[in-house]
Structure formats: C-alpha cells, structure tokens
Amino acid sequence: MKGLIQRVKHASVMVEGQTVGEIQQGVLVLLGVEKHDDETTADKLLHKITNYRIFTDEVGKMNLSVQNIQGELLIVSQFTLAADTKKGMRPSFSSAATPVQAEALYNYFTERAKLLGIKVANGQFGADMQVTLNNDGPVTFMLES
C-alpha cells in the first residue's frame, strides 16, 4: 500500500462539480492499493501517516505529526500509484488491486482513521475527481507499508 502525503493548509476534492470532501490544515493522502495489500498493511500505513512528523514545532523543525497538531486528513483513492513505470512509455497496472479489493481496503483505512479521533474527509472511490490543495512548504512524501 502506498500513500503519497502532502502537508496542506487546505485541500478539497470535487466530483461532477460538487465538493465531496474538504479539510483545513492537515494531510492530503493519495492512497494506492496493490494486490498483496491487506488490513495489516493498511494499519501499518495509517500508523505511519498519522505519526509521521512533518509539521513544524515552535523552533521550526519538523517534529509534530498530524495527530499532534489536531490536523485533518483528506483521503483520496489513486490507483495510479500502483503503476509500474520502470520500462516502456506506458504505465502497467498489473500490481494494482482489483477495484473490489481496493475499495474495501480504502474504506477500511478511512474507518480506522476515524477511530483515532482525527477529522477525516474523503474523495469518491472510482470517480473522476478534481483535487485542489494549498500545499504547505511544499512538503510531500511517499510512504509505503
């Protein structure tokens, strides 16, 4: 499972002109699910994302997590993160999870995040989405479990 995380001041996602998810300060998570992923890998990635120290403390060092700052999460499914781009000029998605498996793990990931007491917003699984963000820094990391 892969999570491209971005520290944001604000982020939102729209589907067919309607806002379906929106957060203020926190983390935008673009979530990619691969065939070998399961609830254990989802739990590991969620723990890493929610505890990853990417927010600055009082002296300007990245020492605080999204939980420390009581920030928010916007979780957006993105199967293209599972692409193999090592050869050729067209991505291969052979390692991506099936839509059924990916949606189940995406929903599991979201529900587990809510149990942590974090405000969570979502995109719409499988939809054509437009994501808008105010990347803070910019600070962006690829995390994997």
Active site residues: 78-80
Q: Please give the span between the terminal C-alpha atoms of the chain, in angstroms, as a whole number.
A: 6
CA distances from 13 to 27, 80, 143 (A): 13, 17, 21
26-56 b/e (C-beta count within 10 Å ≥ 16 → b): bbbbbbbbbeebeeebbeebbebbbebebbb
